[in-house]
């Protein structure tokens, strides 16, 4: 009996053991799946979050609304007009080389002052007029040259000589200063040309200190550059603004710049020859929109019934137009989109300028603007999250008066990706 019972229990026990094995295998597989799932979740959640893409959408030029003003530029000769702090406003053949006539004397004055500096209120050394200069006066006066009466042995101060040369434009005083400074006119002219080269006057060359020679030539663009230099010297700025001067023998003599004191004109130098035409290098100043504005211009080689008056009239018209067209212009508006930001998980925003940029200028004026992502945003990528109002870029606007930098901040946040997106990416 006992053997039969034992025989009946064998297969049942074996089946139970097999089922338990399967259960253990299933449990092991489930555990493995759970572990793998946990690993997957851990890996997915711990993977670095991609950075947001940032693309700059503000490039190149900014243009003020409206059309660029058209100034009454003469169609003859060479003209260049510039507004200090704003740049060139109008030109006509500005590199053309033409006779400079008495404008030459401005460089003569610069060379003399380089050798013999003179401050405001100073007279400087006494200069003795040699017989060679004095004896030439009668013939020069008879030929209607621009000269003043000089006598041999007469003494003039350096200041009186500069005033005589630049106000009534005395040619013989220019010769006197050249010989006094360098010993001879030829040596002095060499220094004049060296000074012109040093000033970057690439279309200017001198053959004499007074400008009587038609070989003393220059361009309007060069003369505007020269005008800036002259007006930066307080003594010369003072002299060229004098409508008249009282000299020892010549008495009261007058400036040929008949525009002085009109329409803001404060100098600088006239010149004219029969064959070379009328020349005028001028500076004009007015107070506009709370700031002083200076226009420097040159009109050269002007011909008409009266060559010099033609040049003076042209300069006056150009100055009036330059000032009347000048106003406050807006170049960059606040809220201008600078950068667009997007992410693979769909969160996006944009960065805009926090303020505008305006300047004293002209309609249609163009300036360069360069937008750059901030240092942390290099390579066109931004790390999320980003707060609303966070600065991510800046715009540098190149104004003639100097660069202006405007921050660009986000208009909304960029949020982190959701857990579901982080788990599902790359599936």
Assess whether pLDDT exceeds 90 at residue 31: no
pLDDT band at 1; cut points 50, 70, 90: very low
| pLDDT > 70: percent of the chain | 91
pLDDT digit string (tens) for 342-379? 998 889 999 999 999 998 889 998 899 999 998 654 56
Pairing outcome for strands 402-410 and 98-99: unpaired
Residues 30, 35, 36, 39: what is their CA dihedral angle, to the nearest 10 degrees? 160
Specify the range with the lowest mean pLDDT, choosing from 119-123, 165-169, 372-376, 397-401: 372-376
| pLDDT > 90: percent of the chain | 74
pLDDT at residue 376 in the model = 54
pLDDT band at 168; cut points 50, 70, 90: very high
Assess whether pLDDT exceeds 80 at residue 327: yes
| Helical residues (DSSP H) of 99-157, grouped into ranges | 104-115, 131-135, 137-142
In angstroms, the CA 153 to CA 147 distance is 17
pLDDT band at 9; cut points 50, 70, 90: low
CA 108 to chain centre: 29
Query: 294 by DSSP, 3-state: which?
Result: strand
pLDDT at residue 8 in the model = 47
In angstroms, the CA 349 to CA 343 distance is 9
Assess whether pLDDT exceeds 50 at residue 116: yes
- Per-residue pLDDT averaged across 421-426, rounded? 74
The residues, ordered by sequence, that sit 6+ positions from 230 with a Cβ below 8 Å of its Cβ are 106, 109, 110, 236, 237, 240, 267, 268, 269
The residues, ordered by sequence, that sit 6+ positions from 323 with a Cβ below 8 Å of its Cβ are 263, 264, 284, 286, 288, 293, 295
pLDDT at residue 233 in the model = 98
C-alpha distance from residue 130 to each of 156, 184, 199 (Å): 12, 12, 32
Q: Across 28-37, 166-175, 287-296, 364-373, which has the greatest mean pLDDT? A: 166-175
- Per-residue pLDDT averaged across 326-330, rounded? 92
Which CATH superfamily does the domain covering 78-324 fall into?
A: DD-peptidase/beta-lactamase superfamily (3.40.710.10)
Q: 192 or 427: whose pLDDT is higher?
A: 192
Query: How many Cα atoms are found within 13 Å in the side-chain-facing hemisphere of 417?
Result: 22
pLDDT digit string (tens) for 214-263? 999 999 999 999 999 999 999 999 999 999 999 988 899 999 999 999 99
The residues, ordered by sequence, that sit 6+ positions from 247 with a Cβ below 8 Å of its Cβ are 148, 156, 160, 163, 164, 253
pLDDT digit string (tens) for 289-298? 888 999 999 9
- Per-residue pLDDT averaged across 37-61, rounded? 75
Spell 277-312 as b/e; 16+ CB within 10 A means b: bbbbbbbbbbeeeeeebbbbbbbbbbbeeebbbbbb
Output the six-digit token pair for 324. Answer: 């009347």
* Residue ranges per structural domain of the chain: 1-46, 52-65+330-424, 78-324
In angstroms, the CA 129 to CA 368 distance is 56
Closest by CA to 53, choosing from 337, 350, 335, 372, is 350
The residues, ordered by sequence, that sit 6+ positions from 32 with a Cβ below 8 Å of its Cβ are none
pLDDT band at 41; cut points 50, 70, 90: low
Output the six-digit token pair for 238. Answer: 């003072």
Q: 5 or 107: whose pLDDT is higher?
A: 107
pLDDT at residue 90 in the model = 93
pLDDT at residue 382 in the model = 84
pLDDT at residue 75 in the model = 97
pLDDT at residue 50 in the model = 81
pLDDT at residue 51 in the model = 84
The residues, ordered by sequence, that sit 6+ positions from 67 with a Cβ below 8 Å of its Cβ are 363, 364
Specify the range with the lowest mean pLDDT, choosing from 3-12, 128-137, 289-298, 352-361: 3-12
Closest by CA to 259, choosing from 209, 210, 297, is 297
Write down the mean pLDDT value for the chain.
Answer: 90
- Per-residue pLDDT averaged across 34-47, rounded? 65
Specify the range with the lowest mean pLDDT, choosing from 78-82, 258-262, 264-268: 258-262
pTM above 0.75, yes or no: yes
């Amino acid at each position: 009996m006992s053997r039969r019972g034992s025989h009946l229990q064998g297969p049942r026990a074996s089946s139970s053991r097999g089922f338990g094995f399967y259960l253990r295998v299933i449990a092991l597989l489930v555990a493995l799946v759970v572990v793998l799932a946990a690993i997957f979740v851990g890996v997915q959640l711990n993977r670095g979050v991609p950075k947001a893409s940032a693309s700059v959408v503000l490039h190149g030029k900014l243009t003020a609304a409206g059309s660029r003003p058209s100034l009454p530029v003469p169609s003859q000769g060479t003209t260049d007009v510039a507004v200090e702090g704003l740049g060139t406003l109008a030109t006509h053949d500005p590199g053309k080389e033409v006779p400079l006539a008495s404008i030459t004397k401005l460089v003569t004055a610069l060379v003399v002052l380089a050798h013999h500096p003179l401050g405001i209120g100073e007279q400087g050394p006494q200069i003795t007029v040699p017989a060679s200069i004095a004896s030439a006066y009668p013939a020069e006066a008879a030929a209607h040259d621009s000269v003043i009466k000089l006598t041999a042995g007469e003494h003039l101060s350096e200041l009186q000589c500069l005033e005589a040369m630049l106000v009534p434009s005395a040619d013989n005083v220019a010769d006197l200063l050249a010989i006094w400074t360098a010993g001879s006119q030829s040596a002095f002219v060499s220094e004049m040309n060296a000074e012109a080269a040093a000033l970057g006057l690439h279309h200017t060359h001198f053959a004499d200190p007074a400008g009587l020679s038609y070989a003393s030539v220059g361009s309007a663009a060069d003369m505007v550059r020269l005008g800036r230099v002259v007006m930066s010297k307080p003594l010369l700025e003072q002299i060229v603004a004098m409508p008249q001067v009282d000299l020892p023998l010549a008495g009261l003599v007058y400036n040929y710049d008949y525009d002085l004191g009109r329409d803001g004109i404060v100098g600088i130098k006239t010149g004219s020859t029969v064959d070379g035409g009328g020349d005028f290098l001028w500076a004009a100043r007015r107070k506009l929109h709370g700031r002083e504005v200076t226009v420097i211009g040159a009109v050269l080689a002007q011909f008409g019934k009266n060559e010099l008056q033609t040049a003076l009239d042209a300069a006056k018209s150009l100055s009036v137009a330059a000032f009347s067209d000048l106003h406050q212009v807006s170049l960059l508006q606040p809220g201008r989109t600078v950068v667009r930001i997007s992410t693979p998980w769909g969160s996006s925003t944009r960065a805009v300028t926090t303020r505008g940029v305006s300047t004293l200028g002209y309609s249609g004026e163009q300036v360069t603007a360069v937008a750059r992502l901030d240092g942390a945003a290099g390579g066109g990528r931004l790390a999320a999250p980003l707060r609303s109002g966070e600065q991510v870029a800046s715009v540098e606007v190149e104004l003639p008066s100097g660069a202006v930098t405007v921050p660009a901040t986000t208009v909304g946040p960029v949020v982190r990706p959701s857990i579901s997106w982080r788990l599902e990416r790359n599936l």
